[in-house]
Amino acid sequence: MIVVDFMARAVCLAIAAAIGAGWLAGLGLAAAPSPLIAILGWAADTLSQFQLVYAAGLFAALAVLALRRRWRVVAVCIPLVASVGVQLWPYLQPIVPPAQAAAGRELRVAALNLWFRNDRPDAVMRWIAEADADLLVLSEVTRDIRRALAPALARYPYQLGAVGGSRADVLILSRLALTPLPVGRRGDGEYLVHARLCLDGAADDPARRCLRVIGAHLPSPVSPAHVAERDRLLALIGGLMAEAEGEARIVLGDLNTTPWAPGFRVLLGRGRLADSAQGRGLHPTWNARLPLAVVPIDHILVGGPVAVAARTVGPFVHSDHLPVTALLRL
């Protein structure tokens, strides 16, 4: 039992260190010119992402310590629970759907990182048919995968793809008219597609409703440079959305960040966006090929006159990501 006590205390201590380091991520050290400081910033950003893991670890450790009546240690660990709780609460608290969610034009949207090694296009096509999305964002759409999915993708008359040599391979598909918009400096178009989507109506109708859409697959945070580039692109997306203030705005895709990282908060604040997952529980989307997905990095964000009527995650489609679907009302 001494070993059990020691392990429970060690878990609390490790989580305390991880949470403390995670708070440093807000300093943006990954972009620092010093390699050592950049590595520390990268580590801090990584540690900020795993709030769900910390919650599970704390629950297990505190349960063991309480059973062993180690109340002093429990008291020391309580602030850690509060820290994690602050991060998770916006997603756990119940929400009251806005009045707009009960009326308005419905728009079903969905996003999925296909995984470039996915060898089950039949599962993906079945999900595409079941999701029945008006607006669909896919990433890691290699040539072979796109060819295999051709029968399902043919249902979408409007298609815009990312350009460049990265493996982001973003593709926006829509049943409604899409008009491409600029994304920023040269090279940014490898990771995101920016477009205006207009609802049914004549092109010259001044009352025709349109909205801004960005489909994205941002760099994976595997190094300080990748974290800095991902955060730059998050800020860029926020700026593009801010330019469309007053319009309905939607950002979808694999952003390679959880809601608890500083870059994500910059995106929401700058773009005046809301996470469609808030108030609807915590549903990790990666890594779906492991026994338990642990981080939500695939997102549907909304801004302006848009209400989220429903949101779901799944099913498993033989990708390392789970798809995300939302029913919106405009």
Q: Residues 22-31, buried b or exposed e (16+ Cβ, 10 A)? A: bebbeebbbb
pLDDT of 249 reads: 95
pLDDT of 170 reads: 93
CA dihedral for 205, 211, 212, 216, sign (positive or negative): negative
Q: Which CATH class is domain 99-329?
A: alpha beta
Average pLDDT, the chain: 85
Q: What is the largest CA-CA distance in the chain?
A: 76
- All structural domains of the chain with their residue ranges: 2-92, 99-329
User: What pTM was computed for the model?
Assistant: 0.88
Write out the E strands in 114-198: 135-139, 158-161, 171-174, 177-181, 192-198
pLDDT of 326 reads: 97
d(CA 122, CA 141): 15
Dig out the tokens for 55 from the structure: 């919650």
Decide: residue 44, CB within 10 A, 0-12 exposed, 13-18 middle, 19+ buried. buried
d(CA 116, CA 136): 17
pLDDT of 92 reads: 86
Contact of 327 with 310, CB cutoff 8 Å: yes
Flag residues of the chain having pLDDT under 70.
1-9, 11-34, 96-103, 163-168, 200-208, 292-293
pLDDT of 164 reads: 66
pLDDT of 86 reads: 81
pLDDT of 23 reads: 60
Neighbours of 258 (CB within 10 A): 21
